[in-house]
Chain A
Amino acid sequence: MDKIIRIDVGAEGGPKITTTPVGEYAGLGGRAMTSCVVSKEVPADCHPLGPENKLVIAPGLMSGSAAVISGRLSIGCKSPLTGTIKEANAGGQAAQYLARLGYAAIIIEGQRKSDDLYKVVITKDAVTIEADNSLKMLPNYDLCDKLKPVYGDKVAIISIGTAGEMLMSNSSIAVTDPEFRPTRHAGRGGVGAVMGSKGIKCIVVNPEGTSLRKPVNEEQFKAANKAFLEGLKRHAVTGQGLPAYGTNVLTNILNEAGGYPTYNFREGRYKHHADISGEAQAQLEEKRGGAGAATHGCHRGCCIQCSGTYYDKDGNYLTKQPEYETVWAHGGNCGINDLDVIAKLDYLDDNYGFDTIEMGTTIGVLMEAGVIPFGDAEGAIKLVEEAGKGTPLGRIVGAGTATAARCYGLEHAPVVKGQSIPAYDPRAVKGVGVTYATTTQGADHTAGYAVATNILGVGGKLDPLTPVGQAELSRNLQIATAALDATGFCLFVAFAILDQGDTFNAMVDTINGMYGLSMDGNDVVELGKKILTWERDFNIAAGFTKAHDRLPKYFSREPLAPHGVVFDVPAEELDKVMEF
């Protein structure tokens, strides 16, 4: 990965492609690459849809190698939804292919000069761009159907649906999975709109003629990779729980804890939780059968296989297995307890190119506003279709939760920095509320994940018997997560490296073997701090202050049933999170 593709969409005579050496960005991957480029090259005060913004697409450091579960793709820019810096990442095949082709990043920049819509094709021999207006307003699945006869199904597609083309603040960028379906999305923050603003509909990545990237120290890499794989297989979560039930297995747990936001965050439990739980979902998928039903990987080389394939009652493909956050957003949050309806909504989100979390919370707000009642499945489907087609009401839906709440005069907008709060109520689990409030990304559950902080020793080793401040815990998690996001490893390795020191060491040694390095945990921490510093400095320059690192007031005022708790972490403690 020693090259960068720059696409200047505003060049004289039409979009111009330049391939340059990676230069000052050498050694960066994933979120480290996207956040570094955005912080250095994008004026923080620019409009997210203006010519000064850039879209950066970067495979992780380990992508394209034989390292297990290393296929995450990071996409960064200034976010139209939050106004902050943004990194959204996705699985799928594109990260592996881009890395095998030797590209550390694609940077799309400049101001489009016409209404033409462009298609980029990357092969071993060339990078080309051509106008193809026949692709206009095609949803993602239709786009893939149209491209398949031309390029085959062994390529990866990075694309936007109609939401991205209409520059909606809730718009994702889709990445095709191993079955050439556009099911994997860099969902959060409206990254699709930035791609749309540059007039790029899709990027075709063809890996033909390439092979796996070679490690510098093959022996070390092989041994470490084997140990890493063994550790992931050995652990109860990565080896058993996730493959069997997927992420939706969390529904029952969060509901039991009273932290499952229901009816637009009005209650902490959903009475029909068992109907939409991961257990129910897995049983239904197994009963209906079909290829990859209950266990499936989002990219080749994934050993956890937390995903699945959702077929309808007649055995027809409907969508990929909806994630926990999707089932929650469209299910409990909206009072919908039908897995088939939730799967249909997931399909529509993927097809039009919407973030499922943002879409579900927006519909929840519209339900509270009385646009449709809670539990109205048909109404929810119609709202997503309106958004995908860009009707006047659909424009409000596609603008995201905060905007929809403003349009209908509601205080109850569950957002931080304009991005909706995911599936864990911060009143019941206030530690995650600290992360929602303070992350550089807007409310984001993945910004502070359970990443081996006790092993890394970020800010001191954690003793389970000694109370540690919320700020310190959240800071440790955010630093470690930022570093992991740079590697291309899926965040879900976190569970195994959290509990098993040897698995954490194996992961670090896999990186060392790949690059001929001798990193240890401290280096990983320093990388995480560096990334967060770039991001925080960008946000400060964009006008964000500590006053933005807060949850909506009503979370501190309105108790959440059943425990009757409010979010009560003092502002002073929130302000300490980014002190490192």
Chain B
Amino acid sequence: MPTVHNVPDGAADMLPGAIPINPPALFFRTSQPEQFQQLFQDHFYVACEDGCTIREFLCEQMHVCGDYTQRRIQTVFLNGHPVDDIDTAQITAGDTVALSSAMPGLMGAMMRSNSPFKQMRDTITLQQKATQQDSPGRQCLVRMRLFNFLAKELAGLFTDNGFYIETDVFQHFLTRQEPVLEGVLLDGAPMALPWATPPKAPMIFVKRTETPVAPER
């Protein structure tokens, strides 16, 4: 997990964008990370460098780069605002970033980055954000949403990177989707899912590993 600034465990909901310290960590193996796509379309959280651009976040921190970004990520939202330029749109702590492939309909065309029809949604288009980070460059928490093909295609990458999620949301996901996960470890101890007694912490850290051994935290 990334280095974090000091926020008490469980206080993430009080300070948007703060990474919780030492949350319960769940590690597992699976050859089907796309099982997480329903969770990823709803939301999850990842660590991000405060004040970076969306392209920097995607490419340098999440390793989603180049042709894939250009070809596949056709629609980008920052806090619900369609983004036309991922090189100028900056992410700050607590922001929500949503990504989608090309979508149908006039709306789908209109929402695309730099659409010929972008004027039709100019009321909600992201304007240059006045960024006032407390500590530019520090690690913060960003809320992510991955829609349609991207949820499937990037599921492996984001589960390998690891992500944060509210414990009750993850519990709901486990109950509803029943993902097949192997070698599950919670804070290093083997366990079966869905768990009978979920951790009490409001957020957990979730990560796919190659081996059932928990990586160093």
214-252 of chain A: CB within 8 A of chain B: 236-238, 240-242, 244-245, 247, 249-250, 252
Name the residue of chain B whose CB is nearest to the CB of A269: B80
Specify which chain B residues have a CB less than 8 angstroms from the CB of A306 in the assembled complex. Answer: 104
Specify which chain B residues have a CB less than 8 angstroms from the CB of A520 in the assembled complex. Answer: none
Query: A189 vs B103: C-alpha distance in the bound complex, in angstroms?
Result: 27
Contact in complex: B38, A280 (CB < 8 Å) = yes
Query: A568 vs B119: C-alpha distance in the bound complex, in angstroms?
Result: 14
Contact in complex: A252, B41 (CB < 8 Å) = yes
User: Which residue of B100, B104, B122 has the most chain A CB atoms within 10 A of its CB atom?
Assistant: B104
Cβ of B89 to closest chain A Cβ, rounded Å: 15
Contact in complex: B116, A565 (CB < 8 Å) = no
Query: A257 vs B101: C-alpha distance in the bound complex, in angstroms?
Result: 15
- How many chain B residues touch A (CB < 8 A): the figure is 39
Neighbour of B123 across the interface among A280, A469, A565, CB < 8 A: A565
Cβ of A467 to closest chain B Cβ, rounded Å: 6
Query: A316 vs B172: C-alpha distance in the bound complex, in angstroms?
Result: 27
Cβ of A215 to closest chain B Cβ, rounded Å: 29
Query: A95 vs B178: C-alpha distance in the bound complex, in angstroms?
Result: 44
Query: A333 vs B122: C-alpha distance in the bound complex, in angstroms?
Result: 24
Contact in complex: A249, B106 (CB < 8 Å) = no
Answer whether A253 and B119 are a contact pair too, CB < 8 Å, given A236-B74, A237-B108, A277-B41.
Answer: no
Contact in complex: B41, A274 (CB < 8 Å) = yes
A7-15, A27-35, A429-437: which lies at the interface? A429-437
446-480 of chain A: CB within 8 A of chain B: 448-450, 453-454, 462, 464, 467-470, 473-474, 477
Interface bin, chain A: 35 or more
Specify which chain A residues have a CB less than 8 angstroms from the CB of B109 in the assembled complex. Answer: 450, 495, 498
Query: Residue B170 at the A interface, CB < 8 A?
Result: no
Contact in complex: B38, A492 (CB < 8 Å) = no
Cβ of A34 to closest chain B Cβ, rounded Å: 22
Specify which chain A residues have a CB less than 8 angstroms from the CB of B37 in the assembled complex. Answer: 279, 283
- Encoded as 1 (CB less than 8 Å from any A CB) or 0, chain B from 54 to 95 comes to 000000000000000000001101001110000000000000
Contact in complex: A253, B107 (CB < 8 Å) = yes
Query: A4 vs B210: C-alpha distance in the bound complex, in angstroms?
Result: 69
Query: Residue B42 at the A interface, CB < 8 A?
Result: yes
Answer whether A236 and B105 are a contact pair too, CB < 8 Å, given A241-B149, A473-B117, A473-B120.
Answer: no
Point out residues on A near B: beta carbons under 8 Å.
Answer: 236-238, 240-242, 244-245, 247, 249-250, 252-254, 256-259, 269, 274, 277-280, 283, 306, 324, 424, 427-432, 434, 445, 448-450, 453-454, 462, 464, 467-470, 473-474, 477, 492, 495, 498, 562-563, 565, 568
